[in-house]
Chains A and B, each alone.
Chain A
Amino acid sequence: MPLSFDSALGIHAKALQVRGKRTQILASNIANADTPGFKARDIDYRAVLSHAGTDRRVGMRGTDERHIVSGNDIPAASLLYRVPLHPSLDGNTVDGQMEKAAFAENALRYQASLTFLDRKFKGLIGALKGE
């Protein structure tokens, strides 16, 4: 039986990565809550996760602003703009309350993924020890 971490851990490792990325995007929104003209962004979690599950390309890292980066972890098309409920006069579309709620929810789901992973590891260790 070939033992690969990818098959043993299932989708949870990918889910953790995407949740981490979403934490970063939501933190950007909250940080720019007072910046004129800033447009709040978010990702379509389901689309990104299905992309992460099938895409096996090796990504390249850009080290300069002018580089075209391919195969990065989040496709640019799934990084969307939020539709504002009540846009403000200065063009900012961040809704502080909504962003905070989304951030709390995302943090909770990150911890859920962590717990799943933790149990997977515990299971593997138990199987290895054979106790």
Chain B
Amino acid sequence: MALYDVFSISGSALSAQSVRLNTVSSNLANADTVSSSPEQAYRARQPVFAAVMSAIDAGRASTGVRVAGIVESQTEIPREYMPDHPLADRDGYVYKSNVNTVEEMANMISASRSYQNNIEVLNTSKQLLLKTLSLGR
């Protein structure tokens, strides 16, 4: 029954979107983190989504989502001259994180909308299944 597969498809999407929300919250939480070298500085993280083809499905119609990996942003780490800061290096610089808060907020809204879409799909399929079960009563 094809409708049962919707649960695993939408479920995988929900879990992938929640990983995305997790990285957004981690990025926003560390937006103001400073460190004493560019290597130690916090870099913004993003998940990479990949489609999962179902093994036992000849038509390759059911396709879930998985998180293929988390990549760190390669944009330049901004540095600031703060000689009084306890974490400042020998030249008096501290290194901030390269998180772009505006980008992260937009990312958060997009992730939350995608999550809602998948919940909606799940609910509709559940209702259809329940109606099918009560057929002929």
Sorting the interface of chain A by its residue count into under 10, 10 to 19, 20 to 34 or 35 or more gives: 35 or more
The smallest beta-carbon distance between A31 and chain B, in angstroms, is 3
Q: Which listed residue (A35, A72, A74, A79) contacts B65, Cβ 8 A?
A: A35
Q: Is B118 touching A31 in the complex (CB atoms < 8 A)?
A: yes
Pairwise interchain contact B49-A24, C-beta atoms closer than 8 A: no
Q: Which of B117, B125, B135 contacts A23 (CB 8 A)?
A: B125
Residue B86 is within 8 A (CB to CB) of chain A in the complex: no
> A111: which B residues are within 8 A, CB to CB?
128, 131
Q: How many residues of B contact A (CB 8 A)?
A: 39
A25: Cβ under 8 A from any B Cβ: yes
In the complex, the answer to whether B3 meets A28 with C-beta atoms within 8 Å is no
A62 with B59: CB separation less than 8 A? no
Q: How far is the CB of A12 from chain B (nearest CB, A)?
A: 11
Confirm or deny: A11 has a beta carbon within 8 angstroms of a beta carbon on chain B. no
B61 touches A (CB below 8 Å) = yes
B51 part of interface (Cβ distance < 8 Å): yes
**A31 and B58 contact, CB distance less than 8 A:** no
Considering the chains assembled together, what is the distance between the CA atoms of A21 and B62 in angstroms? 9
Question: A14 contacts the other chain (Cβ, under 8 Å)?
Answer: no
Q: List chain B positions with a Cβ less than 8 A from chain A.
A: 1-3, 5-6, 9-10, 12-13, 16-17, 20, 48-51, 55-56, 58-65, 110, 114, 117-118, 120-121, 124-125, 128, 131-132, 135-136
Given A20-B1, A76-B59, A103-B124, output 11 extra A-B contacts at Cβ < 8 Å.
Answer: A17-B2, A27-B10, A32-B49, A36-B49, A37-B51, A79-B61, A96-B117, A104-B124, A111-B128, A114-B135, A122-B136
